């Protein structure tokens, strides 16, 4: 069953989404070469608390960190630890928060200080593929229209989409129906209706699409060791244009969340 959110629930999701994105932007803005991923997770934990929210990931299926931090060849679900990020690394940050009974889920990849032109192109194409997917998130379309738009854009630019992990419905829980793949497989997929809330999240590899999991049971890396990028928004299907719910607060960084 795909849940349809009413106006009151959508209002709560706007707040949760806005907090998630604000935390993401705040953390992204202060990452410096030499920081450990554990320090970055600590900054995220503090920001989530300051905004009166809770991590939606900590404890989810026993996930041990507040956000997901995936460096370079790490695709998603990277664990915070003693690894230090260096100038030239790219870091995928994925923030999920609970607020008012609802989840906001959003991600982006940023360079530490600066990065190679090829890494920058990977991030640009991934972010743009998310926009292409969001543009198809319209009532009357199908989930597969989103998937196709993402895949086409990514592959037209010479990169590949990850198959093993997908976007999803989001609401009272982090993962709800339906699945929102970043590729098409010919199977029929649900029709989009106003009031559905979806996390659209292309995971894009510079090389081959295959991934594997590290022994920590969480960190997903590219099999070929090439870079990977990840961008995500929580989006509301409406009778008109899609609404991005994970938009940062307009009160600028450092706000107390009022
Ligand atoms: N952030 C992931 C997503 O976008 C979910 C992470 S679950 C966790 O769907 F347990 F790994 F945190
Ligand atoms: Co996410
Ligand atoms: Co998600």
CATH 3.90.230.10 for domain 7-245, yes or no, is yes
DSSP state of 190: P
201 lines ligand 1 (CB under 6 A): yes
The best mutation among 94, 133, 171, 214 to test binding of ligand 1, ranked by most ligand atoms within 8 Å of the C-beta, falls on 94
Nearest CA to ligand 1 atom 12: 57
The best mutation among 61, 77, 231 to test binding of ligand 1, ranked by most ligand atoms within 8 Å of the C-beta, falls on 77
- Kindly tell me the burial class for residue 212, based on how many C-beta atoms sit within 10 Å of its own C-beta (0-12, 13-18, 19 or more): exposed
Q: What is the pLDDT of residues 129-146, one digit of tens each?
A: 999 999 999 999 999 999
Q: Where are the domains of the chain?
A: 7-245
Q: What is the model's pLDDT at position 137?
A: 99
- Centre of ligand 1 from the C-alpha of residue 76, in Å: 8
Q: What is the model's pLDDT at position 170?
A: 98
Residue 251, pLDDT > 90, answer no
232 lines ligand 1 (CB under 6 A): yes
Q: What is the model's pLDDT at position 256?
A: 47
Q: What is the pLDDT of residues 49-79, one digit of tens each?
A: 999 999 999 999 999 999 999 999 999 999 9
Question: Residues of the chain with pLDDT > 70: what percent?
Answer: 97
Under 8 Å between Cβ of 222 and 75: yes
Q: What is the pLDDT of residues 149-207, one digit of tens each?
A: 999 999 999 999 999 999 999 999 999 999 999 999 999 999 999 999 999 999 999 99
């Amino acid at each position: 069953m795909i849940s349809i959110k009413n106006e009151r629930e959508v209002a709560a999701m706007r707040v949760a989404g806005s907090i998630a994105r604000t935390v993401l932007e705040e953390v992204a803005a202060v990452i410096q070469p030499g920081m450990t991923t554990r320090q970055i997770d600590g900054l995220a934990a503090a920001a989530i608390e300051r905004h009166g929210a809770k991590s939606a990931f900590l404890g989810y299926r026993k996930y041990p960190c507040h956000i997901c931090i995936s460096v370079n060849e790490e695709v998603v679900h990277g664990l915070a630890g003693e690894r230090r990020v260096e100038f030239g690394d790219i870091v995928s940050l994925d923030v999920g928060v609970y607020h008012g009974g609802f989840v906001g889920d959003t991600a982006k990849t940023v360079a530490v200080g600066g990065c190679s032109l090829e890494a920058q192109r990977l991030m640009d194409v991934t972010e743009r593929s998310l926009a292409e997917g969001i543009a198809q998130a319209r009532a009357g379309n199908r989930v597969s229209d989103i998937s196709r738009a993402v895949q086409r854009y990514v592959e037209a630019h010479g990169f590949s989409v990850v198959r093993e992990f997908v976007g999803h419905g989001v609401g009272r829980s982090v993962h709800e129906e339906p699945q929102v793949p970043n590729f098409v497989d010919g199977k029929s997929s649900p029709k989009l209706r106003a009031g559905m809330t979806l996390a659209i999240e292309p995971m894009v590899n510079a090389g081959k699409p295959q991934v594997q999991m590290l022994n920590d049971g969480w960190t997903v890396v590219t099999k070929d060791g090439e870079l990977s990028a990840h961008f995500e928004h929580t989006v509301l299907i409406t009778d008109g244009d899609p609404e991005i719910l994970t938009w940062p607060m307009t009160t600028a960084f450092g706000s107390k969340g009022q």
